[in-house]
Chain A
Amino acid sequence: MTTMTDPPGQGFRLSQLIYDTRYRSLTIQVVAMIVLMLLFSWLVSNTIHNLQTLGKDFDFGFLTQPSGYDINQRLIEYDSQSTHGRAAIVGILNTLLVAVLGCALATVLGVIAGVLRLSNNWLVSRLMAVYVEGFRNVPLLLWIVLIFALMTESTPAPRAFRGDTPDASMLFDAVAITNRGVYVPAIHFASPFFTNGALNWLVVLVVLGASIFAIQRLRHWATAKQEATGDRPTTWYLILGILILPTGLLMLLMGAFLDMPSLQGFNFGGGIHLRNSLIALWLALSLYTGAFIAEIVRGGILAVNKGQTEAAYALGIRPSTTMNLVILPQALRVIIPPLISQFLNLTKNSSLAIAVGYMDVRSTLGGITINQTGRELEGMLLLGLFYLVLSLLISGVMNVYNASVKLKER
């Protein structure tokens, strides 16, 4: 006898947009969207108006014009007749150079300091605590200018190396640390395959890469054999041979020789000249980031449950194997993501190069180029895009890694 009736049809009322939870989220979003659009159009119209008043346009043509300034630290050919675009690329390469060098040294320092901080040697662990706290709590900029001042003020001038009883001497007769920079031996080729130096190095790198690939295959083969028969063939001398022989032979073939730095006139010549700006930036970034990495490594090792080690020992696994197969894989899962974000921080912090005059991308594209062409808007936009793309790429890599080591829960 019950009759099904529809709820009283009142139709749609405007107040439902605010008070009905079905529509409210839509209302909020539309309002937010409109406000954002208004804000953006306001900013854009302001910019257009301001550009018109100044008589400027929005144009990236300046990248193809000759730059007219020199860059003292460069990895590729560049002179003052080159374009602004090429100057930007030189800067990008310099940024990447100091970032890669810094990440490598920071990792080494950080891992050593992190492990030593857990050492049961009281003195060493305290010393490492002082290092970590000291570097973490003082601005990076101060460390950069301090190390730069140390490099320029406390090292001998080139003329101190002169004479029969010089005041200063070179390390191992190969490395000269002077107040104009550090000179290290360079490898040159007497009979190169190509006139372009970079191509020769590319060949060497390709051969080295092929060797490493061959070593990987060899280890795969050894593992397969171990799984099939229980015996692991001895491979270390093969690995060493594959690693050294082909590359060494190639270098001999090209007539590689060491070009030692030596005093020529008032300054050192020969070898590779590492400027103080690069050294100071590199050391400061590495020491500073190393302190953060040390904490990450320490946390990662502490995060592995002690029961894991004990369980491995109870199974009769040796300590070194336990470390490799039980502790490290679990600790790395905790360590790697923050480690990569520290690498990212180091790369971004390399923009502090401005403090010591190292020509990174901010100094070329975001500094001198902007000053010379007056294209602040375009220059800063490109600069920001470069850093943004770089950090998005690195965090993309991190996401892939995270997904690959994620605990597969069933």
Chain B
Amino acid sequence: MSDTHAQTVAFVRDTMVEEQEPPLSQSGAYKWIHENMFSTPLNVILTVVSLFVIWTVLSHLLPWAVMGIWDADSLAQCREIRDEIYGADASVACWAVISERWNQLLFGFYPPELYWRPVLAFVLFLAAIAPVLFASVPRKALWFSAAAPFVLYWLLWGGSLWGPIAVAAGFALGAVVMRFAAPALGALAAVLLAIFVPLLYWFTLSGPLAGALNAVIPLELVNVRSNDMGGFMLAMIIGVSGIALSLPLGIVLALGRQSDLFIINKCSVIFIEVIRGVPLIVWLFTASLLLNYFLPPGTNFDLMLRVIIMVTLFSSAYIAEVVRGGLAALPKGQYEAADALGLDYWKSMRLIILPQALKISIPGIVNTFIGLFKDTTLVVFIGLLDPIGLSNAIRASTDWNGIYWELFVFIGLCFFIFCFSMGRYSLFLEKKLRREHR
């Protein structure tokens, strides 16, 4: 059979054809470019338009930035150098303003001989924030994170070290009271006592105590006033304290808004809606213009502190809404399971509800933080020298009159780096905490 069949067909292949490279149009860069840029007429148009946009922007921006002049004392000198090298028509950046005013942009009018203090504070801050952000850092380091706020305050503002220590002792006192009173008096009474005793201590004892200790062992740094701080240091101080303080406050507000207790619920709702309904800039003006009306005559406290309080209240209302979304997204079974285990309200919140709700709300919380950090620029309107305020101040000097883009680019890039890395961290955290669909 096979013989006859073999004769009816002219040719039968008895070996495999060797594997061949795919055709050029179906492989490599050509295929990728074809599929991703020129697959349809519309795509061709889009690609051409985007290439044109990219070319326009880069052809103006790149030479301007790369050929920029880094070494000059004033804009006029910058232009002289430019005329010498590139000719009078060339458009080049004058980065010299950054290199010359670098310190001012970072520290404002902080005394130059004390620059080591904010630098050291920044390094310590990074060390303190690491165990909070990354679980791989040893947990013992969290003790340092807890102590960091007091150390940083002392480094930045100076004064006696005993002041922050005396304040910190109040928190320790509260923890001790809580520890020993809870078994004897019950939870509620212990909490009340743990709030009351430190308050009493702060109002009466802590001041004289710090003074006395300072008289015995003086540990003092030169005092720096808040007015002298500015630039990115100011943005960092306001941003970081706002972030650290607004998260707990926001969570409490969210719990209040979810609460069954009528009065607590309504108070939280009113607080959140009023704060969110009015722009931050109006709140900042309220802080600078009106606060003196609401407080006893003669009280006058630091403008920066007022700003931090306002920014904290503002973003805590936003965080409360984000966390409320997380709380509402949890299945009801989780609440019921916590009740069924016999956990009381705080335990069920702490152990079951909040860990899950916060995980859901991470993107929203981080977005709020990014917004807060960007909003620190608004303090320029009430007279604090944030980076944008400093750029105005630099422009007002005769040396740098008329310089715009270099400063804006620099400030924008710095903010971009901070905010973008915050956003990336939130993506990292989301991925790490994801428990389902691995």
Question: CB within 8 Å of B: which residues of A?
Answer: 18-19, 24-25, 28-29, 32-33, 36, 43, 46-47, 49-51, 53, 116, 119-124, 127, 133-134, 136-142, 145-146, 149, 153, 348-349, 351-352, 354-355, 362, 366, 370, 376-377, 380, 383-384, 387-388, 390-392
Contact = CB atoms under 8 A, between A and B. Distances in A.
Q: Which 9 A-B pairs have the closest CB atoms?
A: A122-B36, A137-B419, A388-B277, A348-B279, A391-B277, A139-B374, A351-B279, A29-B263, A139-B377
A46 B293 contact: yes
Nearest to B36: A122
Contacts of A47: 293-294
A406 to B, nearest CB: 14
Interface in B1-58: 35-37, 39, 43, 46-47, 50-51, 53-54
22 contacts: A18-B189, A24-B188, A43-B294, A121-B50, A122-B37, A123-B50, A137-B423, A139-B374, A141-B377, A141-B378, A141-B388, A142-B388, A149-B404, A348-B280, A351-B279, A352-B281, A354-B281, A362-B282, A366-B285, A376-B290, A383-B282, A388-B274
B47 A146 contact: no
B186 interface: yes
Nearest to B47: A123
A47 B290 CA distance: 9
A123 B37 contact: yes
Nearest to B35: A120
Contacts of A142: 377, 388, 408, 411-412, 415
B50 A127 contact: yes
B302 interface: no
A123 B281 contact: no
A380 B281 contact: no
B296 interface: yes
B282 A134 contact: no
A29 B264 contact: yes
Contact of A49 (B261, B281, B297, B378): B297
Nearest to B51: A123
B276 interface: yes
Given A32-B264, A121-B36, A149-B408, A377 B290 contact: yes
A127 B56 CA distance: 13
Contacts of B184: none
B350 to A, nearest CB: 18
B134 interface: no
B293 A137 contact: no
Nearest to B32: A122
Contacts of A391: 276-278
Interface of B: 35-37, 39, 43, 46-47, 50-51, 53-54, 186, 188-189, 260-264, 267, 273-274, 276-282, 285-286, 289-290, 292-297, 370, 374-375, 377-378, 380-381, 388, 404-405, 408, 411-412, 415-416, 419-420, 423
Contact of A25 (B261, B280, B419): B261
A142 B289 CA distance: 25
A145 B377 CA distance: 12
A145 B262 CA distance: 46
B188 to A, nearest CB: 6
Contact of A387 (B186, B277, B374, B375): B277
Nearest to B33: A122
Contacts of B419: 136-138
A47 B291 CA distance: 9
A116 B420 CA distance: 21
Contacts of A46: 293-297
Of A122, A139, A362, most buried by chain B (CB within 10 Å of CB) is A139
B278 A133 contact: no
A33 B266 CA distance: 11
Of B262, B263, B411, B420, most buried by chain A (CB within 10 Å of CB) is B263
B29 to A, nearest CB: 12
Nearest to A21: B344
A353 to B, nearest CB: 10
Contacts of B280: 348
Contacts of B37: 121-123
Contacts of A120: 35-36, 39, 43
A95 to B, nearest CB: 10
B261 A380 contact: no
Given A51-B293, A142-B377, A380-B290, A362 B281 contact: yes
A136 B411 CA distance: 15
B297 A50 contact: yes
A144 to B, nearest CB: 10
Contacts of B263: 29, 32-33
Nearest to A130: B54
